[in-house]
Structure formats: C-alpha cells, structure tokens
Amino acid sequence: MELKEQVKAKILSLREQLEYHSRKYYVEDSPEISDYDYDMMFRELQRLEKEYPEFDSPTSPTKRVGGEALTKFEKYTHNVPLMSLQDVFSESEVEDFVKKVGETVENCPFIVERKIDGLSVALTYENGVFVSGATRGDGVVGENVTENLKTIRSIPLTLTEKIKKLVVRGEVYMPKTSFERVNASREESGEPLFANPRNAAAGSLRQLDPKLCAARGLDILVFNIQESDGMEIKSHKDGLETLRRLGFKTVDCSNVCYTSEEICEQIRLIGDSRGELSYDIDGAVVKVNDIDLRETLGYTSSVPKWAIAYKYPPETKATLLEDIVVQVGRTGVLTPNAVLTPVRLAGTTVSKATLHNIDFIRSKDIRIGDTVMVRKAGDIIPEIVEVVKSKRPIDSKEYELPKYCPSCGEPTVKEEGEAATRCVGVSCPAQLGRNIRHFVSRDAMNIEGLGEAIVNQLLENKVIYDVGDLYYLEREEVRKLERQGEKSTDKLLSSIESSKTRGLERLLFALGIRHIGEVAAYSVAKKFKTIENVMNATTESLLEIDDIGEASAKSLVSFFALPDTAKLVEKLKNAGVVTEFSERSVGISLDGLTFVITGTLPTMKRSEAEAKIKENGGSVSGSVSKKTSYLLCGEDAGSKLEKAKSLGVKIITEEQFLEMIK
C-alpha cells in the first residue's frame, strides 16, 4: 500500500474514533477514554490533515466546535456562538501563541484564569431578571435547561442592576464533596457510578425532574460576557468585576501579563493549586484582556485567535501493588481491585485502583508485588497505566481470578466473548437483594407491596436467605417491619399467595437466569412443560427452540446444574408454587400468522407483545416482507411502517391486537 493510501486510511480511522468518543463525551455523558488520550488523538488528526490537505473534509471532527445537542429538552439557538478554545500542551506552545498575537498587537495585555471542568452554559437576563439558560450543545444550538439552572443557588434570579439585556457564559460543575456524596448514594442503591464530577454535572443538569437536579448540589462559575445592552466593558478583568457586582459567582483571574514568562508562571501557580480546590479544573485559559483588541485579532472558523486553553498533563507516579482483592457486584460480576502502597496524586492519597476484569489484567500483565505507574483518569479515578517490569520480583506469578465466588463459594463462569467473570449462584449474598427485587417485579412473579425497602429489611433482619423464603413468611415477621400496618401486611401476604399460580414461564423468567428473558422463558416452558424437564434438558435439546441461542442454552444448563438451584426448586415446590406450564385460554388462533412490531406501544413492552403473539400460536419477525401478516404499530414508528404500507401489509394498533386475542 502506498504511503498516501496508508495516511488516508489513518485519517479516516481517527475521524471515526473521534466522532465516537465525542458522542460518548458530549451526548451520552459516558466517556470511555481520558481527556488526555482524546486530545492526543485529535492533535494527530490535525497534523495529518495539515500535511496532507488533499484529504481534508468539511465533516472532520477538527472542524467541529463541540458535540451534538440532545433532544430531551427544547432546542435553544445561541445568538452569539459559545466557541471552544484551541488547546495547547506545553509552555513552548504558549510562547508561540504570544508571539503570533504580537505580530498583530504589540505589547498585548493577557489574563490567565482556571479552566473549570464542567458543563458550559449561557444565562440570559432581561431588565435584570433571569429569563432563560441553555447548554452549549454544538456551540450554536444547545438545550433549554432553565428550570434546572434555577435550582443552582449561586445563579442570581435578579441582578443588582436592571441591565436591559445581558447574556453571560459560565461553567456548571459539581463540587468534590457533592460528587463523593452522590456516588456514595448511587453505590448504595446499586446504580452505576459517575466517572468524574464533570460527567456527574452534565448528567444532573439534564435531569428532566428539576428536583433531582436540585438534590445533586451543583454550582457555577461565570467567566464571560456574551452579549450586553446597557453596559460598556473595556476589558475582561473589568467585566469579571462588573459581573461580581451584579451578583454572579465568577472565576478568579490573574493580574495583567505582558510576556510569555509571566503567563507561564501563572499557569504553573494554577497547576500547583489544583489539589487544594473544592472543584476540578482541567487546565488554564489565557485570554487577551482588552475587548477591542480581541475584535482586532478575530476568529478562525471554530476558535478565537485571542485565547488558548493550556491542558495539564496527567500526573503519573510509581507505587507498589501489594495485593489484588475481588469484590462481587450486585449483578454477580467479579471485579478485581489493586491494593496499592499509598501515593499522593492530583491532591489526594491513592491506595487502590480498579483492575476492571481479567482481560485488563492480562493485557498489562499485572501481578501482585509489581511496581506500577498510577495516574488518575480525568484526574479522578485512579488507574494503572503500566507495569515497571524491571522491578518485578523473580518469583512473581501470573494472576488468576478465583474459580469460586468469594461471597458464596459457587463456581464462577466467564462466557466466550465477554470480559466479565460472574458468579451465578442463586443464593449469593452479594447478589441476593437484586435477585429478589427481580423475582417480585411485575413482569416476573408480580408480588405487590414487596418494594426495595421491605426487601432490604427482610435481608438485614435475616428473615429470608433466598427467593424461596418469601413463600414461608409468617404474618408476625412481616408485621414487625417498619411501616407495615395490618392492611399492608395482609395485602403483601395475599399477593405472595397469588403469585404461586403464575406458571412455569413466569417462574423461569423470575429466577433471573442470565440470557433468559420473557420470550425465551415462555418458549422453554412451552417445550418442556415441567421444571423437572427443564432441569434435565441438554444444550442440544434447548437449541432446538427458535428463541434459544448457544449462550442462553449454556446459561440454563449451568444454572440448573448448581446444587443451590435444586434446593431452591424443591423449596418452591413444597411451598405450593406452580412449576408446570399450562396453555392459557385464548381468543382466535394466531397459528401461521407472522407479526412485526415497530414503534413504542402504549402499555406493553415489545417483549410482552412478542410473548403474547407466541403463546397464541403466532410468530414474530424483525423485518417487514410480503410474508408479514400484520405490522403491530406504536408511536414513533420508523421505516418498517413505510415498507408495510408499500407492500400492503395490514397495520394494527395495540388495542386492535389485544382485541384479536381477547
């Protein structure tokens, strides 16, 4: 392959990766790589596009200002774009910037300030009153999040002066104390943790319920005047002082600097103070102080020529990996964690780091006793970057995850194609709360009144040890629980009793067997009729079922091979739980009819509709063709609806479908 073809392939690959990670960062608030890694990838693309202009493209990520606006909120068009800044990573690049400005403006005054790591927003005031606020979005179109911004107490709802019109730009962030509190709460409730305070701030500001946003403890620092009518500002420093006078909480800035040496000294001072701040910063911003000179210098298509953002490199230090301990999560995933000799990083002491999974450990060849290089991803989450193999002990051994669950002692499994190693024990203490909540859920055994708080009390008081114990609860045991009166106790016990007749198909789904959803559970129950037959089923016999793939079949066989599963099944049967499948009385037969489902149905999940079609003898397809009998159509239907119309396929609503099987 010629050099130019290799370069073209590299450019296309970088663009694809950057678009993906940009979406994860800006749209989904779930970054997968550090800012530093993203920046290095971005700069590599910039370099290649500059050296090979024939491969330039108007759709390249280097031409974009930011990410896309979401559609959860009303769209908001910024009158003055919220532009991004050119990033630099060394003091020599700062010097180059100052020299370039000096070619147009002699003895130019600069200001240096912290670059807050949060979510950029614009706040609009009319006659001194806060009227709207929006996220940056792609710089031109953002999201109207006015009601959520109103919950941030440091945003003034009325200014100290009645300015005719004022639009300011600020950075919404989550203080470190709020971040720790929110993540502790999410961990306790089994929710995924936020990766860093910026991620948490973005997710919080996009909550549809302002009350949830208010509970997150967000804050803001204002750093720019976007528009003003009724104010005359000559310099950035004067502008910040005016904003403070009007009631805003603003960023701090340096004294005026005239040389690159003075600027770099301020950048170093800000960097040294990072660990002492109550919030995160991801760099320092260098700006021309004089507003008129900014207009003289102008803009490129995506960034101002009068400002840059200096990005600090992540701090990396060596320490000893003393041990690897394994935690069992609520979904049964075994997560190895490194126990480190404490080391100071980015202002805090680090003594542990997640090792994710066995594939991560193997890829870096991490072993107990190794000296490892550690940094904080996004300056928050400790991670091991590499092993210093020259310092590895002679007798070190390759690390292996335990073959038996540390929590319950059952065998662990790692399925092909998956990174996670799991415990599948039905009575694993680490998973028990989650398993019970699934078992009692509406689509499973549908036991009303058995919410999370009641389940937690039953577990904490050691009243139950698995889902089977629910059917042996005594009235007095339930009555002793908090907030359980006579009526609520009777209702709960009655619901438990009623759930015994749900049938084999609901029971199989309720057991929470990996890869077995509602449709698969129904198909297995219909074929094997009794739970004993299911327990004796082979992988081969399960694969004869249309809805069962290899992963599902292996999961079922493994689950029913566990000794604890046999004990649980016996307990359920002795309690009177129905473990047999029985055909339900149905309306017209759907035998020979093929359905395709599209859009969002009013009351049913797609899986529920599929199950109803199959239990009435019909079949379900994923695509519309001439062989399709009916298109079951909900709201926001896509291309399937148009294709059905073109082929003359009969289109029915959920109401019409339910009437068919009534």
Catalytic residues: 115
Spell 179-190 as b/e; 16+ CB within 10 A means b.
beebbeeeeeee
Is the distance from CB of 85 to CB of 303 less than 8 angstroms?
yes
Is the distance from CB of 446 to CB of 499 less than 8 angstroms?
yes
What would the two tokens of residue 106 be? 């002699």
CA-nearest of 211, 75, 218, 196 to 135 is 75
Amino acid at 73: F
Is the distance from CB of 535 to CB of 546 less than 8 angstroms?
no
Is the distance from CB of 46 to CB of 57 less than 8 angstroms?
no
3-state helix, strand, coil in the chain (%, to 5): 40, 20, 40
Number of residues in the chain: 662
- Residue that has been written with the tokens 């950029």 in this structure: 120
CA-nearest of 57, 462, 107 to 293 is 107
DSSP string, 569-633: HHHHHHTT---B--PPP-SS--TT-EEEEESB-SS--HHHHHHHHHHTT-EEESS--TT--EEEE
Q: Is the alpha carbon torsion for 281, 286, 291, 294 positive or negative?
A: negative
DSSP string, 85-153: -EEE-SHHHHHHHHHHHHTTSTT--EEEEEEE-SEEEEEEEETTEEEEEEE-TTSSEEEB-HHHHTT-T
